[in-house]
Structure 1
Amino acid sequence: MPKLLQLYTWRHNQVVEIIIELLRTQCESANQQPVTVKEPTIQFHKEGERPVRRKNSELKLLNGANDWKISTDLFTSLQFPAHIIQTEKRPDIVAWYDTKKSVLLIELMVPWEENVEDAHERKKNRYETLRADCIEKNWKCVVIPVEVGCRGFLSHSVILLLTKLGITGYDLLPMLRMAF
C-alpha cells in the first residue's frame, strides 16, 4: 500500500506544480500591470437584444492589484500567512494581495474519476470555516477546489480555475495538452 500512496502523492504534486507555474505566470503578469480603479457600470440593452458579455479581463481574479504573493504546500510545509489569519489548515496553494485584502485558496484532489463530485464537495466544505474566518477579518476569500482524475480526467473545476486566472480560448488548449 505505501507504493500506491507514493504514486498518488507523485501525481498530486505533478499537477500542483503545473497549477503553480500557471498561477505564478499570471501573477507576474498582473503585478506588471498598472492598477486602475474602475467604477462599476450598468450595461443596458434594448428589449429583445442579447446582453453584451463582459470581456475576459474583467472576469480575472488577479486584476486590480500588483502585489500578488504565492505560497504553496509542495516542497515545504505551508504556513498560512499569519497576517491574514492564524490557522492549522494548509491548502495546496495560497495567493494573496495585501492592498485590497484578497486571498485565493486552491486545493487539489486527484480522485478516482467516479468520485470527482464527492471530492469537490468534501474540499469545499473543509475550507468553508477558513473562508468564513478570512471574511470575518475583512479579507475577500475565494476557495477553489480543483479535481484532476487519477487517470487524467479534467473536471469542470480545472477549466473554471484557468478561466478565472484569465487563461481561455486558444491559450487554454496548449496548456491543457502540456499539463494533463
Structure 2
Amino acid sequence: MNKKITLTSVMAILCICLSAQRPQVTTLPVNERLSNLVINNLINYPGDTASINTLTGNNSKMLLIDFWFTSCAPCIKQIPKLDSLQQQFKDQLQILMVTFEPDSLVIPFITKWEQRHCKKLSVPVATADTLLQAHFNQGSRPNYAFIAADRVNMGYTSKAFINATVIKEVLAKMKEEVNLRGYQRNPQQ
C-alpha cells in the first residue's frame, strides 16, 4: 500500500514539474507585439518554414492571418477573395492561411481547389498549426488576425467583410501606427 502511495506521489510531482516547464502560450492582446515566431508546415510557399519577419517582408508588409479548415463552407467561400487580395496587394500585404488540419487533408483540398479554379493559389498555407492558433484563438472560423509590419497585433475579426477597401484602410492605419511606434528602427527585436 505504501509503495502505491509513494509511486502515485512521485508520478504526480513529476507531472506537475513537466507541465510547469512547458512554455505557456497565451492569446496575444491587441496592440501587443508578436515575437518573431517560426511557422512550420508551410505549403504553397518557397520553403516549408518561415519566420514572421520573413512573411512580413522583413517588416515591410502587413500580415493577414486567415484561420480556416477544409470543411468550413464560409472559409472556402473566402479563398478566391483572399487569393485576389494577395495578388492585388502583393507588395504591401502577405496573407497566410492557417489550419489545425494535417497536410494529408489540406494538400488534396488545395489541389482540387486549384483544378476547379484553373489557377494556382497565391496564398501560402500553414498546416497542423498549434502555435498561431494559441496566439490568436478566437474560436470561430473564418477568423482573421491583422499583424502590422512591425509584428504588432492590430486586431481580430470573424466577419467575412475583408475586401480591397478594408485592406486599403487598414494598410493606411498601419503605416501611421508603425511610424509612431518606431519598432522598424530595430526590426530584429
| TM band (smaller chain) | under 0.3
Looking at CA atoms only, which structure, 1 or 2, has the larger radius of gyration? 2
User: TM-score of the superposition, structure 1-length normalised?
Assistant: 0.26
TM-score normalised by structure 2 residue count: 0.25
